A and B are shown apart, each in its own frame.
Chain A
Amino acid sequence: MKNSFFTILVIAILLASIGIISIYSSAYQKENKIWEAVYQRQLLWVILGLALFFCFANFNYRKLWDSTYFLYALAIFLLLLVFVLGVVRLGAQRWLKIIWFNFQPAELVKIIMVIFLARYFSTKSVDDVALRTSRLGILGALILPLIFVGIPVILIIEQPDLGSGLIIFLIFISMLYLSGIKLRHIVFFSLIGCLLLPISWHFLRDYQKERLLVFLDPNIDPLGAGYTVIQSKIAVGSGGIFGKGWLAGTQSQLRFLPEAHTDFIFATFAEEWGLIGSIILLALYYLLVKEGMRIAIRTQDHFGRLLAFGISLMLGIQIFINIAMNLGLAPVVGLPLPLMSYGGSSVVVTFIALGILVNIDKTRTVF
């Protein structure tokens, strides 16, 4: 029991430290004073995150079951609030200004949706101890949860934040798969999804369409939409085996790489630490996700089990898409790398999620 707690804590602290080191490097040569404070702020967020991690590690996760509907309502409320009071940055309205910091509700909505789905798929019928899910019809298994998930997803995509919306959607699909829903329902759902893809193209913003096209061929617009992908690939590729060394990465230091401290933190790291650093980083992330999966598998409680799966997958999907995007293997969507990217909301929510995960492992023996 203690094992998982410490494994996760150590890995999380390691990753957060690597993140701070990389953020420090990416902001190192910038003449502006604001940039110097960036890594200090991240340090504060990590400390706050760790505090919340310990809180949630001792906060019985079953209480989340009880407050699920409250949390869901809170999520919708925050998303609506963003539309009204949101701060516009980088052409998108994603942030809420709370006293002295900006908060991104979409990050919180991710974990809330995981809790919500875990509860939804672990309800038992009144007269039976068995799970309802395997006997759910198409309405209960697909349509209802889709509507529940669809509302926040549409609100997020409208901000616009395609990345977060997409992540929640992917979490939904993978949790459907792991919740024991009939396979034909999932297949049916995927087919509908495929059919809807060409239609959804028309609902995308121009910049999102550009990014998708650029993903297919970055060179169609090397100075515009393709610039980020090209520079990110150059940053990663120029690292070589041993990297250029800390504070010596030209791509990030000289700001050829945009968003070097947030979405493209991996490229910053890979440029300075090379293949060896990248392998260690990937291994740490893999161990983290694997530890989450192990907790899920040994948990008997259905809610806890699904919740642990959901959290592990949420992390895994974000890690995968973000790094793939850094390598030019996935289209560029605004998505942070958990624990490493600069950004309070992401760091805090990730630590909360890890706290819940640890608590599931701690509490399971009680049942």
Chain B
Amino acid sequence: MRIKAAKIIIALLFLFLLLGVANLELIQGKKFRDLSKKNCIRLLPQMGSRGKILDRRGDVIIGNFLSYDVMLMPQDEGVTVEALAKISQILATPVSNLRNNFKRNFIAPFAPVIVANNISMKKAIALEELKLDFNLDNVIIQPHPQREYPFLGLACHSIGHLNEIDHWRLSKLADYGYEAKDIVGFTGIEEKFDYYLRQEEGGLSFEVDHRGRFVRLLGFRPPKSGKDIQLTLDLKVQKIVERSLNDRKGCVIIMNPYSGEIIALASSPNFNPELFMKQDPAAGRILNNPDAPLVNRAISGLYPAGSMFKLVVATAALETNKINLATTFVCTGSTRVGREDFACWDTHGPQNVMKAIPHSCNVFFYKTGLLVGPQLIYDYALKLGLARPTAIDLPYEAGGFIPNPLWKRINKFKNWFNGDTANLAIGQGDVQVTPLQIARMMAVFANRGSLVTPYIVGAIDGQDISLYKRKSIRLAFKQTTLDSIRQGLRNAIADASGTGNVLSNLAVSVAGKTGTAQAGRGQPHGWFAGFFPYKNPKFVICTFLEHGGSGYMSCVVTKQILEEMAREGLI
């Protein structure tokens, strides 16, 4: 009896051991395997440099410079304290800070420890001299590459800035090997192409024993630098554009009308991307600035199109044969639609389409718009690329909006009235466009009927990627339509009574359209979009001034840009 019990107890005890082993090796095996690796594998990281951002000529817009880290070889306590005291004198930081860094960054007794980073070259040289004077062999100065902004805020909206990864981006990018505390791009190229620009951390991995002594090298992975990205921006044009915009709020886009290459893209006010990396309090002020300097107005800003929209109405009317080139309406300063009087900004007399575009006559377009009808206007707006993103290779692009009767019925529970059509015909009311959409629409008239997809990245790592860009869409517009609108746009500049007459006496022949869009509050927005030279356009330009007063102001800015471009021989 007792013997049987003893046998059972022995069997149970062995079973207990078996379960214990299985629990550790099977169920908790993964955890313990990680712990055992952590025990004996150490990493000594080495950083590569982030990819440079170049302009179309290959000039550096954003590069890297060498910043210096002070490293200390761990030795016995006395030597370490002495070295830290010397370093703290030169760096003018308290010894306690350095000690804390030393403790935090300690890897193994034979690996150098970073005690201070990002010191200037001056201090680095001073430390090197100190090493010689006091024979401090345990101090190591190591350079490491850091982002450099030679032109500070130049093209900052297209390029974006760098910062420590935030929670939202981390949750999105964790699967691609991103980790907390990584430095990633925020907005612009830096964000959109972060995966290419990003450097890969390399380093030595080695095995250590229980005292942290070196046992053997497990491997070395050379750090990889990020890929350089060449933009289609022209640094010279970009500089001219930003200089001309000065402190005015607004944006300028210069684009190749055939390929959609962005030659210059400026948004104002801008910011200094350097501040974000330095954790400067000024960076916080940028975020809270009511003028929203971080917003790229060219692609993310939504504004009423104003008179720019008249080109949509003219195209729709000519294409659908609602009017022909001879159709004439008389502008008496205002016209009655329904029960309301819709005013023009002047009294223009009899107007056909070739005259109404340069004069930007409201009455002509009210009447044409009513003839065409809202649905067709809406359709042609979509054909000309409005109300949807242009698919430029920059993040956070806005889509814009064009109202139509169905939308009004569904969302506002109201019928569409003729007054709405009249408002739509001059681009007021609910119409919202981005300046880039207007530039793209202007490119259709410049290149005679192709809707291009704008892009800003020309090559990655020296490889031309324009082949992979979306092809331009051929719009089946009649040649006469395009010709007459082009003639109208040219007249707007060339005619003495044209709205853009200030641009007439330039070295280059310009065609374009001005617009003054009523803003909800404050001064109206000023638009100008056009192309030059008129015969064989090389550039499309869109100048937008937020609360700029009128289209005339935009023309003045444009004139300044064109004059400077001509002076530098860029046209």
Interface residues of A (CB under 8 A from B): 29, 174, 177-178, 180, 231, 233-241, 250-251, 254-256, 270-271, 274-275, 278-279, 282, 285-286, 289-290, 293, 296-297, 309, 313, 316, 320, 323-324, 327-329
**Which residue of chain A is the closest to B213 with respect to CB atoms?**
A254
* Cβ-based interface call for B470 (8 A): no
Task: Report A332 CB to chain B, min CB distance, Å.
Answer: 15
Are the CB atoms of A278 and B21 closer together than 8 Å? yes
Q: Is the interface of A mostly helix, strand, loop or mixed?
A: helix
From 10 to 46 in chain B, residues with beta carbon under 8 angstroms from any chain A beta carbon are 10-11, 13-14, 16-18, 20-22, 24-26, 28-29, 31-33, 35-37, 39-40
**Which residue of chain B is the closest to A238 with respect to CB atoms?**
B36
Chain A residues with Cβ below 8 Å from B172 are none
Chain A residues with Cβ below 8 Å from B39 are 231, 234, 250-251, 254, 256
Chain B residues with Cβ below 8 Å from A289 are 10, 14
* Cβ-based interface call for B7 (8 A): yes
Are the CB atoms of A241 and B40 closer together than 8 Å? no
* Cβ-based interface call for B570 (8 A): no
**Which residue of chain A is the closest to B31 with respect to CB atoms?**
A237
Task: Report B89 CB to chain A, min CB distance, Å.
Answer: 35
Chain A residues with Cβ below 8 Å from B210 are 254-256
Among B16, B31, B32, the one with the most A-chain Cβ atoms within 10 Å of its Cβ is B32
Chain A residues with Cβ below 8 Å from B40 are 250-251, 254, 256
Question: Known: A251-B39, A254-B215, A286-B14. Contact between A238 and B29, CB under 8 A?
Answer: yes
Task: Report A290 CB to chain B, min CB distance, Å.
Answer: 7
Task: Report A189 CB to chain B, min CB distance, Å.
Answer: 15
Chain A residues with Cβ below 8 Å from B29 are 237-241
Question: Known: A274-B25, A327-B20. Contact between A285 and B36, CB under 8 A?
Answer: no
Q: Which of A241, A251, A271, A296 contacts B26 (CB 8 A)?
A: A241
Task: Report A32 CB to chain B, min CB distance, Å.
Answer: 13
CA distance A256 to B215 in the complex (A): 13
CA distance A302 to B79 in the complex (A): 73
CA distance A329 to B20 in the complex (A): 8
Chain B residues with Cβ below 8 Å from A234 are 32, 35-36, 39
Task: Report B16 CB to chain A, min CB distance, Å.
Answer: 8
Are the CB atoms of B24 and A327 closer together than 8 Å? yes
Chain A residues with Cβ below 8 Å from B22 are 275
Are the CB atoms of A239 and B25 closer together than 8 Å? yes
Chain A to chain B contacts (Cβ below 8 Å), 23 pairs: A177-B6, A180-B2, A233-B24, A236-B25, A238-B29, A240-B29, A250-B40, A250-B207, A254-B208, A254-B209, A255-B210, A274-B25, A278-B21, A278-B25, A282-B17, A282-B18, A289-B10, A289-B14, A293-B6, A320-B13, A323-B17, A327-B21, A329-B16
Are the CB atoms of A316 and B21 closer together than 8 Å? no
* Cβ-based interface call for B3 (8 A): yes
CA distance A293 to B17 in the complex (A): 19
Are the CB atoms of B215 and A236 closer together than 8 Å? no
Question: Known: A238-B36, A254-B207, A256-B40. Contact between A177 and B21, CB under 8 A?
Answer: no
Are the CB atoms of B3 and A297 closer together than 8 Å? yes
**Which residue of chain A is the closest to B14 with respect to CB atoms?**
A286
CA distance A260 to B288 in the complex (A): 61
Chain B residues with Cβ below 8 Å from A237 are 24-25, 28-29, 31-33, 35-36
Chain A residues with Cβ below 8 Å from B24 are 233, 236-237, 327-328
Chain A residues with Cβ below 8 Å from B3 are 178, 293, 296-297
CA distance A234 to B211 in the complex (A): 17
Are the CB atoms of A174 and B6 closer together than 8 Å? yes
For chain B, which range describes its interface: under 10, 10 to 19, 20 to 34, or 35 or more residues? 20 to 34
Question: Known: A178-B3, A237-B29, A293-B6. Contact between A250 and B21, CB under 8 A?
Answer: no
CA distance A297 to B3 in the complex (A): 8
Chain B residues with Cβ below 8 Å from A241 are 25-26, 29
Are the CB atoms of B32 and A238 closer together than 8 Å? yes
CA distance A324 to B17 in the complex (A): 6
CA distance A205 to B209 in the complex (A): 31
Given contacts A238-B35, A241-B29, 13 further A-B contacts (CB under 8 A): A237-B29, A251-B39, A254-B207, A254-B210, A270-B25, A275-B26, A278-B25, A282-B21, A285-B14, A286-B11, A293-B3, A324-B20, A329-B16
Q: Which of A235, A279, A293 contacts B36 (CB 8 A)?
A: A235
Chain B residues with Cβ below 8 Å from A327 are 17, 20-21, 24
CA distance A316 to B12 in the complex (A): 12
Among B11, B17, B24, B29, the one with the most A-chain Cβ atoms within 10 Å of its Cβ is B24
From 508 to 545 in chain B, residues with beta carbon under 8 angstroms from any chain A beta carbon are none
CA distance A275 to B14 in the complex (A): 15
Task: Report B12 CB to chain A, min CB distance, Å.
Answer: 10
CA distance A238 to B16 in the complex (A): 20
Q: Which of B10, B16, B35, B215 contacts A316 (CB 8 A)?
A: B10
Among A297, A316, A327, the one with the most B-chain Cβ atoms within 10 Å of its Cβ is A327
CA distance A290 to B26 in the complex (A): 27
CA distance A234 to B210 in the complex (A): 13
CA distance A327 to B6 in the complex (A): 23
Are the CB atoms of B21 and A270 closer together than 8 Å? yes
Chain B residues with Cβ below 8 Å from A250 are 36-37, 39-40, 207
Task: Report B207 CB to chain A, min CB distance, Å.
Answer: 7
Question: Known: A177-B2, A240-B33, A289-B10. Contact between A320 and B26, CB under 8 A?
Answer: no
Are the CB atoms of B36 and A251 closer together than 8 Å? yes
Chain B residues with Cβ below 8 Å from A296 are 3
Among A233, A238, A290, A327, the one with the most B-chain Cβ atoms within 10 Å of its Cβ is A238
Chain B residues with Cβ below 8 Å from A271 are 36
Task: Report B209 CB to chain A, min CB distance, Å.
Answer: 4
CA distance A5 to B215 in the complex (A): 46
Question: Known: A234-B35, A254-B215. Contact between A293 and B7, CB under 8 A?
Answer: yes
From 120 to 177 in chain B, residues with beta carbon under 8 angstroms from any chain A beta carbon are none
Q: Which of A254, A275, A293, A313 contacts B25 (CB 8 A)?
A: A275
Task: Report A171 CB to chain B, min CB distance, Å.
Answer: 13
From 238 to 273 in chain B, residues with beta carbon under 8 angstroms from any chain A beta carbon are none
Q: Which of B10, B13, B21, B33 contacts A293 (CB 8 A)?
A: B10
Chain B residues with Cβ below 8 Å from A279 are 18, 21
Task: Report A347 CB to chain B, min CB distance, Å.
Answer: 21
**Which residue of chain B is the closest to A329 with respect to CB atoms?**
B20
Question: Known: A178-B3, A254-B215, A255-B210. Contact between A236 and B14, CB under 8 A?
Answer: no
CA distance A278 to B20 in the complex (A): 11
Chain B residues with Cβ below 8 Å from A231 are 39
From 283 to 322 in chain B, residues with beta carbon under 8 angstroms from any chain A beta carbon are none
Chain A residues with Cβ below 8 Å from B2 are 177-178, 180
CA distance A315 to B25 in the complex (A): 25
CA distance A315 to B363 in the complex (A): 109
Are the CB atoms of A238 and B14 closer together than 8 Å? no
CA distance A293 to B198 in the complex (A): 69
Chain B residues with Cβ below 8 Å from A313 are 6
Chain B residues with Cβ below 8 Å from A293 are 3, 6-7, 10
CA distance A323 to B6 in the complex (A): 19
CA distance A182 to B211 in the complex (A): 56
Task: Report B432 CB to chain A, min CB distance, Å.
Answer: 60
Chain A residues with Cβ below 8 Å from B14 are 282, 285-286, 289, 320
Are the CB atoms of A275 and B32 closer together than 8 Å? no
CA distance A275 to B32 in the complex (A): 14
Chain A residues with Cβ below 8 Å from B209 are 254-256
CA distance A293 to B11 in the complex (A): 12
Task: Report B273 CB to chain A, min CB distance, Å.
Answer: 45
CA distance A327 to B23 in the complex (A): 10
Residue interface bits B352-382, CB-to-A below 8 A is 1, else 0: 0000000000000000000000000000000
